[in-house]
Amino acid sequence: MNTPDPAILLKWYDRHARRLPWRVPPARSRKGERADPYHVWLSEVMLQQTTVAAVRPYFQKFLERWPRIHDLAAAELDEVLTVWAGLGYYARARNLHKCATIVVAEHGGLFPDTEDGLRALPGIGPYTAAAIASIAFDCHATPVDGNIERVMSRLYVVETPMPASKTALRELAADLTPASRPGDYVQAVMDLGATVCIPRSPRCAICPWRGSCGAFAIGMTDVLPRRTPKPERPLRRAVAYWMVRGDGAVLLRRRPESGLLGGMMEVPSGPWEEIEIFRDAAPVKADWVELPGLVEHGFTHLRLELKVKAARVDGRSKSDGVWVFVENFDEYALPTLTRKVVRHVLSHVGKGVAPS
Ligand code: SF4
């Protein structure tokens, strides 16, 4: 079995690189042109836990609104959270804004060009630092994500299940990274994992590394990488309260800064608890009407079920939040969970916004 040759993969990349708005095409990078570090950083932060297809429109929106890092640093955090809404993991948006202000205030608007320098910034972990260092500055760094782990586990037939094999896969990936064009090479492995060495039924017939792939040689491409089964995510339950004032405005509340959906607006709910039966924790006395069905939402580590109750209330009795008309909800950074609750309510009570 041949050792995988980075030069073969680079040749493939020169012809098949994905065209991405934050990228410099390989032909131009061969002439020494590098991608804009601001674009690379923005895309890499957005791509954490999300797909390229989901990120594209957000990336465009951010660049239209804040073409330079100075513009982003000068923006209000709430504005950034609003444009980010829908991408999830809102702590990343807060860190994004914080990072922009630090890069402008302490680095003159220029990103550090080393992994260590990048890692000192908020929201930039080992993977993102390596990705920015290699793609934006052509450093010899190896970001290793799920795609790259999969490619390595198949090339080298690593049978230890994930996540125990992570360190070994990272070392294999680092050893294979060439001194020449490391930035393009890293993007080439990313592209291979995203378009050819895909999770199910890898497209080995068109793979440039087929001749040096251990899994292909012994017919194990469909079983690698092995994974230790994940434990079931715990299920939490709570009741959300849709409170409507006399003039039709609805009460929204900001969640605590720390914890899930930190600082985001929500339809007020009771504590999210691992309980069998939904616990009523109505914040005010009212003629609550329970809406049929549930709102279900999945976070990385837990699942959530919300029952929704709605009522007309006296607006003066509740000051913990803001009263907003449904047609003005877009002015707030509503996370996906809150949007689900809103859709759920409106599908039951329609424009009346509260049971009559
Ligand atoms: Fe992946 Fe198949 Fe290529 Fe091996 S030959 S790296 S399994 S696509």
211 shares its domain with 239:
no
63 shares its domain with 33:
yes
The answer to whether the CB of 154 is under 6 A from ligand 1 is yes
Distance (Å, whole) CA 27 – CA 324 = 52
Distance (Å, whole) CA 43 – CA 29 = 18
The answer to whether the CB of 100 is under 6 A from ligand 1 is no
Domain boundary among 155, 184, 217: 217
Q: Candidates 198, 216, 218, 220: which one to mutate for ligand 1, based on the most atoms within 8 Å of Cβ?
A: 216
- 8 A C-beta contact, residue 313 and residue 284: yes
The answer to whether the CB of 202 is under 6 A from ligand 1 is yes
140 shares its domain with 49:
yes
51 CB-near residues (< 8 Å, 6+ apart): none
159 shares its domain with 20:
yes
Has residue 294 been placed in a domain?
A: yes
Range(s) of the domain holding residue 261: 235-349
230 Cα–ligand 1 center, Å? 25
2 CB-near residues (< 8 Å, 6+ apart): 211, 212
The answer to whether the CB of 151 is under 6 A from ligand 1 is yes
Please tell me the total count of domains within the chain: 2
| Residue 251 three-state SS | strand
Radius of gyration of the chain (CA): 24
The answer to whether the CB of 210 is under 6 A from ligand 1 is yes
44 shares its domain with 187:
yes
**Which atom in ligand 1 lies closest to the alpha carbon of residue 213?**
4
167 Cα–ligand 1 center, Å? 21
Q: Is there a cis peptide before residue 202, judged by omega within 30 degrees of 0?
A: no
Which residue's alpha carbon is at the smallest distance from atom 2 of ligand 1? Answer: 204
Q: Say if residue 98 is exposed, middle or buried (CB neighbours under 10 Å; 0-12, 13-18, 19+).
A: middle
Nearest to 343 by CA among 353, 331, 355: 353
Has residue 229 been placed in a domain?
A: no
pLDDT of residue 337: 95
182 Cα–ligand 1 center, Å? 21
140 shares its domain with 276:
no
163 shares its domain with 268:
no
The answer to whether the CB of 157 is under 6 A from ligand 1 is no
Output the pTM of the full model: 0.77
Which amino acid is it at 99? C
188 Cα–ligand 1 center, Å? 14
Supply angle C-alpha 323, 324, 327, rounded to 5: 165
Which residue's alpha carbon is at the smallest distance from atom 5 of ligand 1? Answer: 210
What tokens were used for 248? Answer: 């039709």
Check if 290 is active-site: no
Per-residue pLDDT of the chain (356 residues; tens, 9 = 90+): 678 999 999 999 999 999 999 999 998 888 888 999 999 999 999 998 789 999 999 999 999 999 999 999 999 998 999 899 888 778 889 999 999 999 999 999 999 999 999 999 999 999 999 999 999 999 999 999 999 999 999 999 999 999 999 999 999 999 999 999 999 999 999 999 999 999 999 999 999 999 999 999 999 999 999 999 888 999 999 999 999 999 999 999 998 887 888 888 999 999 999 998 999 999 999 999 999 999 999 998 999 999 999 999 987 765 678 999 999 998 887 899 999 999 999 998 875 566 66
39 shares its domain with 161:
yes
Chain centre to alpha carbon of residue 239: 27
**Which atom in ligand 1 lies closest to the alpha carbon of residue 210?**
5
Distance (Å, whole) CA 238 – CA 289 = 15
pLDDT of residue 22: 95
The answer to whether the CB of 204 is under 6 A from ligand 1 is yes
- 8 A C-beta contact, residue 193 and residue 151: yes
312 shares its domain with 189:
no
Q: What is the DSSP string of 8-36?
A: HHHHHHHHH----TT---HHHHHTT----
Q: Say if residue 54 is exposed, middle or buried (CB neighbours under 10 Å; 0-12, 13-18, 19+).
A: middle
pLDDT of residue 152: 98
Which residue's alpha carbon is at the smallest distance from atom 1 of ligand 1? Answer: 197
Q: Candidates 1, 3, 9, 221: which one to mutate for ligand 1, based on the most atoms within 8 Å of Cβ?
A: 221
Alpha helices in the chain (DSSP H): 6-16, 26-30, 37-47, 52-65, 69-74, 77-84, 90-107, 115-119, 126-137, 146-155, 166-176, 182-195, 214-217, 336-349
Report the 10 Å Cβ neighbour count for 353.
19
284 Cα–ligand 1 center, Å? 60
Has residue 225 been placed in a domain?
A: no
281 CB-near residues (< 8 Å, 6+ apart): 238, 239, 270, 271
